[in-house]
Each structure stands twice: as structure tokens, then as C-alpha cells.
Structure 1
Amino acid sequence: MTTIISATATAMDYDVVIQAMLKSWKTFPQKKRIESYTAAAKTYEDLEKRARASAILEAVGDKAINTDDAFRNIREKFERFTKNHQERFLDLETEYILSWNKLFKDWAKAFKKSQEYAILTAAEYKDRYVAVIFESAGKVDLNDPEAVRREQDCLRRYGEEPPPSQIPENYENSFKELRQAVVRFQAKFSNYLAEKGEEINEELVRLKEELTVLVEHLHALNKTVNDWTTALIFTSWDELIGVLISGTGLVAKIKACNIQVWKVQKKKNKMDSANEGQAGLTGLAANFTTVCCEFDMVQGNLHSLTKIWSDMRVNSIKLSYLLEKAVNGGNDAETQEFKLALLSAQKAAEPLHDSLLIYAKRIEEQCRAYNGIN
């Protein structure tokens, strides 16, 4: 951005600036009329798209940071910068805007007489021929046949040449008036850049520095999400549960409990068939019923837990995709959808974690009771 203004002010080649203003006229109406504005706007818009990713990153963990305030500050500074310099240019623009509007109004009236061009409006002709006018401004001598031929070639590149019979009588005068207006504007623009160019450059440099810091924060957040996503993609069920319970050994306890329940079930069946002492059988049956209920609750919770984490694994893969989309101008609805799904899964997993630890402890106690009876 800095180079553009400095080079323009030094080389006095303002055709480049005029062309840039022209090309951005339709895309950025009423602001960002010069190339430096366009470059600054693109940088800002790219970063604003990246900011959308911060919404889903808030759920990642302690490393996630909220960038809303930082972006709001940047946005306000940028808008203030654009508004200030846009207002300074308005008086310079007025003169040649009026000139080309008059020219195209004349052209529109002439072409309206022809059925072939009836559907075209003055605005469409402005878009089509304004580049030709600027390209040839101050360079074409209408008395030079070769120059006129080159101008007609230029017209053909932007659209069909208007029928000779439909060209208004004051075509040449209007064209000359517009060229003169452009030249006057270029002179005023040169003076403005000579006076304010350094100030504009300094302001753009400060803005770019703040945006650079913001990009570094976003890169750090992106790395955090990638690390977290990798951690969600487990290789086995044991590892999945092992990570969830943070090393408490619940997996081993559940497996041991499963064996104990199977042994108790076998003993109960044997006692039933042998018709052994009713008191012992009743006590064992009561304990067995209790532990089976506990174990069924564990199994049910494990099933729910496995599904939740399975969904989270799928969502973690989707996270990478959505994050990439968010960084490159993603769909707000998709990122919000994932954020809600992720928060829902996390919320559902919290009570399951505590419940599984409680059930594991109860099962362990029941297993010790069986061993005493046995």
C-alpha cells in the first residue's frame, strides 16, 4: 500500500491511479476510490473473514482468545481513515464526474433512437466506455486518422462501435471537454498527493501493523484448534475412555466388573439348580441384583458416552473443514451450527464423566461383597 502512493507521487503517473479508481468504481461505490484504498480494504476484509473463526474457537480451551474488541478497534480506525480521505477527494472528483455524466447522457439519447441499442441505459454505456475515455485522455488527436483508428480499436475491445449515424453532433466537443476535465483533475490530484501523500502512507502503515498483530493471534488460535482436533481422533475405544477419565483406571475396573458379574451369574445359576440354602441364595441374589443394576447403568452411560464422543470425532473432522472455510470467507450458519453441536456434546459429556466414576466405585464395592459371600 505504501509503495503505491509513494511511487505514484514520485513518478507523477496518475493514469494508474485513474484506472484503479475506475475499476473499483462499480465494486466500491462512493469510497475506496484509489488503489491504496482497494488494497487496504482487501487486507481488512480478509482478516474480517478470519475473525469469524474466533466464534468457534472460544470452545477450544484456555488458549482461545476473544478478538472481537481488537477487530472492532481496527474496523473503526479503518472506517475513519476511509471516510476522512474520501471526503477530501469528493471536491476533486466532482468536476470530471459531471463531465462524463454529460457525455454519456448525450450518448444515451443518441443510441435510444436506434432499436438495436434501445435496451442499453446510460449507466451501462458509462461502464463500457469510461475506460476508453481514460485510456485515451489527452493522447488522441481527433485530426490524426491513425490516432482515431487506434481509438476505434479501443472502443471495439470494450463493446461494439456505435453506428456512425447515431453518434451525436456534439460528440467531439463532449469528448474534448471530458479530456480537459480529466487533465484538470490529475493536476489537482497531484497537488493533493504531494501535500498529503506522506500522511496517508503513515496512517496505512500503522493500520497494517495492527492488522499484522491480529493475524498472529489468529494463527495461534488456529494451531490450538488443530492440536485439539488431533487429540479427538482416537485410535481405540480404550484410549477414548482412558482420555475421558484422565487416568483413573475406570476402563480396567469396568472390565474387572464385567468378569465378576459373569462369575456371580454363573454361581447364581449353579445355586438355583442345586437348591442350596435359601438364606445364602437370597443374600447373593440381592447383591447380584444391585450390582447388575449398577452395571446396566454403567453400560448405558458408556453407550451414550461412546456415541457422544463418536459425534465429537465426526465434528472434530468437520471443524477443520469449517475452520478453513471460515478463514477463507466461510458460511456463518455452518460455523454457528458446528459451535452449537460441539458445546452440546461437551455439556452432555460432563455429567457422564462424574457418573461413571461413581458407578465404578459402587461396582468395586459390590465385587468385594461377592468375594466375602463366596
Structure 2
Amino acid sequence: MNRRNALICVALGFCAHLSAKTPQPTLSINTNLDYDGLITTPNGKAYFGQQWLENASEVTLYPKNGNSALWTLTLTYSDGRPAVGKAITINSTYNTLTTSSWRDKNTMANRFPSGSRATVIQRIDQGLFRLRAPYEASSLVTDANGQVKVTVNNFHSCGNEQQPGSDKLTASTGNLQAQLIVKCAVTGLVNIPDRASEGLTTAGLVGRHLHPDLLSALQNLGQAWKNVQNKPVGMPNYLTITGATMRWGGINPPHFTHKFGGTVDIRPIGTSSGPVSVGDAHYHRQATQTIVDALVQLGATKIIFADNLKGVTDVKSNHRNHLHVSFLTEPLEPWLAPNDNELDSEGEAWHDYSNIYDTSYFVPQVKSLQVTDFHFELGK
């Protein structure tokens, strides 16, 4: 532009657009979350369904293989246009429950019986037993809609701490960032109180939580047992739970079960308090039989014990000092076997629950019985 035209342009105010830079629209990132799987409520009830959340900062995944969440990242300019072809980086870090006992495969395997450790490591390597939340992005570059979709799968290190195990996913592009906390938890489980005076107590528990329906049923059973008159001298007036579930469910070393709050270990009855095993002089077979009868009455689906009592579904010699009682349908996920003949350390077949949508596999089906509904026959 010559000097004369420039002066005219300035005088008339026509040249501002020639000297100033065109402003660039700003970039923003938004997220949507679609969760598909087993959903539990604070009262312990559960159903299979979907949840959709906009700009959610966290999601809780039930520790069942097959549960997943779709995290959709959308980049847009301030004028509404999708930001196409933008590179996004995604990384994952441990957020809570960060110790090696929960996150390192070898340390985790060492918490199981020696004969099972190689299998535990194999299942971790196969991705069937997960110590962190696996994720997969559709692409690391935004598509024609300015989106990247990230599938996040469940994991099993839920833990026994005040907060459930969780991972933090961080998506970044330029100076923009979005984060998602992925929690592992069976919500709605309740703590087992020690109330021997009311008929139910515990011993040696690490995980001491159960589904509320199961705890209520066992408390009524314990109260009914306490009320039994003329027990042999020294026989306890209470039942003792020796195995339950971690606070947030999930994997529960050294157990392969006890993951969902629907399985419990109960000490057999003896003529003195404290530990008792089948074969001990103070083991009382008839009293233990009457407890088994009551557990069947409550709807137990599986009872493992070393004594072939009526109602025991599996006689296993390594269950001499406790009754392993489940109110679930085959509670062994996430262990998947290449054939049906492979067994876990408790002598049960492995199962894959990825495609099971029956809540009875995860929520105990316990009959609601009152204290007066139980009747015990101790014999002479």
C-alpha cells in the first residue's frame, strides 16, 4: 500500500483489519460417561442397566468382568465447531490402594496358597484378574465430531480401606485436561458387629463385611441359637464368623470366593469356646448338624465342610475348622478356565462371569426368617 492510500485508509478507519490479527476461537473439552453393567444401590440391591453422566469426575465399577464405562471426550471451539484432528494423550495412575500388595502381580500372588500362585499370575497376565482398570481409546486423534472415546473396564483390587481402590485417568491436549476417577467397589456392604451376647461374633477376620440381608439373617440365626436351652456345658451361646468379604468387595486373598458379600465362613460347634475342627474331642457333630439345617433353611446354595453332614453340598478335607456357606450362584468370577476340569484351591471349578446377567450370582438370595422360625435338635 502506497503512502497516499495508507493515509486515506487510516483517516477513514478502513484499515484496522489489516493491521490486527484475526482472533482464534478458544478450545474446550467436555466429557460424557456411559456406564453399562451391574449397578448396586446403598441398600445392597442390584440390577443390570446403564447410566449416563455428563462431565462426570468419577465412576464406580462393580468387580465383575464384563462391566465397562465409555468415557467420551469432546473438543470444541468457542464458536461451536468440533476440533478435528487434535492429538490427545491418556495416562493412568493409581489413585487409592496404591501398595504393591494390591497392585503388583507377584506380591498379590504371594497372598494366595502356594499351590495357586502360578495360576493367579497366569490369570493376571491373561487380563482376567485385574489389579488396575484397563482402558482402550478409539483413537488418540479426535474424529470428525471432535471426539475420542475411551472404554474403561472393571478391575478387582477394591480393598479394605476407608476408600475403595481407584485409578485416575487423565486425558490431555495442549493446556487442556480432563480426569476420571475409576473406583472398584461392591457398594452397600455392612460391617459385622461383634455381639456374642446377642448370638453372633467374629474371629480372625480381615474382611468383615457382608450384604445387609445376609447379616440380618445370620443375626436372627445367632439369636435363635443363643435362646436354645440345656446346651452341653461349655458350648458357646453364639455363632462365630471366621471369613467374610473386604469392605469394598472384590478380590479377597487368600480366598478365591468371598468377593461379593454373599459368602461366609462359620466355625463348627464344639463343647468349648474357641477354635474347633472335625475330629477334635470337643467337636459336637449334632450341634453342628442343626446349624447346617438352619443354614439350608435360610437358602444356602453351597455348604463346604469336612464332615458329611446332611445339607453339606461338598465334603472337602481342607474345611475341617469352618463351614464355607454361600448364598450366591457359583461365586467364583473372575477365574476363567480353559476347561471345566480345572479346580481352584477350594476344590471348585473356575467360572467366567463376563456374559452372566443374573443378579443371583452377585447378590445373596436369603430367606427372611424370624428368630422363632428356627428349631434346633441337639440330641442327648
TM-score (norm 2): 0.24
In terms of fraction of residues, the more strand-rich structure is 2
Kindly indicate which of the two structures has a greater share of residues assigned to helix. Answer: 1
For CA contacts below 8 A with separation 6 or more, give which structure has more relative contact order: 1
